[in-house]
Amino acid sequence: MTRLAALAATEMRLLMRDWTVLAFAFVFPAFDMVILAGVFGNQPDDGYGMQRPDEYYVAASIGVPVIALALVGLPVALASYRERGVLRRFEAFGISTVKVVAAQALVTCGLVVLGAAVVLAVAAPTYGIPHVVHPWQTALGFAAGTVTLVLLGVALGLAAPTARAAQAAGLLAFFPLFLLGGGGPPKGVMTGTMRTIADALPSTVPAISDPWLGVATVDSSLAVLAAWAAAALAVTGWLARRKAA
């Protein structure tokens, strides 16, 4: 087993003992999907681009665990490790911070997949799983969205001075991204300004749900996600250089 795999296995075990993270990552998206899909029904609606709301929320909810885990779980874990000296403990042992961050990012990606699976498992017997119009684009959107938000989560976790600050910043980022990024009301009912903001957000939801439901291709979402990923990498690099100095 490589060092990275050993670290990732330990991180996974630790996360599985934290019920708050598990609830936020697994229960909240499924719960949200059950309520919203149930409330808005299964009749095609103008506000949803003539899609069925239940199908819209099933597809959209696949992207919610990514936002929850990458923007709240990951930054808090990283900031807490830095604040408490866990990163220094590893560094003194010859395990670089990059490796610890990579292990946490890897675990987050694994949990994101698990979270999506939970949403699908709950959707299947309740509202059904909508037909995937562009499977490869959907998978690409899921992967790109996950990578981008994990990079943003890493930048946030390294920038926040304390775990509490990381939690506050993560929640501040989570709610607009969740509500405007597709987890809440559809773009069809948003005002012009809200829609402009939504289009600029690094949301995984449209990157997944648009190609899934055949509303649009993944291209436009990929461009936005790539810009955010580049910004996150730049911030992470700057933070790493500042620390090295």
Tell me how many degrees the CA angle 50-116-28 measures, rounded to the nearest 5.
85
Say whether residue 241 binds another protein (CB under 8 A): no
Of 11-19, 64-72, 162-170, 200-208, which part binds another protein (CB under 8 A)? 11-19
CA separation for the pair 78, 82 (Å, rounded): 6
State in angstroms the smallest separation of the CB of 188 from another protein.
44
Helices (H), 23-134: 28-40, 53-61, 64-68, 74-84, 86-92, 97-126
Return the closest-CA partner of residue 205 out of 90, 68, 27, 77: 68
* Binding of another protein by 94 (CB under 8 A): yes
CA distance 68 to 23: 10
Name the residue nearer to another protein (CB basis): 11 or 55: 11
- Residue 24, interface with another protein (CB under 8 A)? no
Q: Which residue among 20, 23, 39, 85 contacts another protein (CB under 8 A)?
A: 85
Pick from 231, 64, 240, 67: nearest CA to 149: 67
Asked if residue 240 binds another protein (CB under 8 A), the reply is no
Residue 98 interacting with another protein (CB under 8 A): no
Of the pair 1, 223, the CB lying nearest another protein is at: 1
User: Comparing C-alpha atoms, which of 84, 32, 83 is closest to residue 62?
Assistant: 32
**CB-nearer residue toward another protein: 3 or 131:** 3
- Report the alpha-carbon distance of residue 118 to residue 65 in Å, rounded: 10
| 49 Rama class: left (phi>0) / alpha (psi -120 to 50) / beta | left
Size of the site for another protein (CB under 8 A): 20
Instruction: Name the residue nearer to another protein (CB basis): 103 or 150.
Output: 103
The sign of the CA dihedral 192, 193, 195, 200 is positive
| Residue in 35, 84, 168, 234 binding another protein, rule: CB under 8 A | 84
The yes or no reply on residue 23 touching another protein (CB under 8 A) is no
Q: Hunting for tokens 């949990």 — which residue is that?
A: 111
* Residue 18 binds another protein (CB under 8 A): yes
C-beta closer to another protein: residue 57 or 81: 81
Cα separation, 72 vs 172, in Å, equals: 9
Q: Which is nearer to another protein, 7 or 151 (by Cβ)?
A: 7
User: Among 19, 92, 125, 241, which residue sits at the site for another protein (rule: CB under 8 A)?
Assistant: 92
Binding site for another protein (CB under 8 A): 1, 3, 6-7, 10, 13-14, 17-18, 81, 84-86, 88-89, 91-95
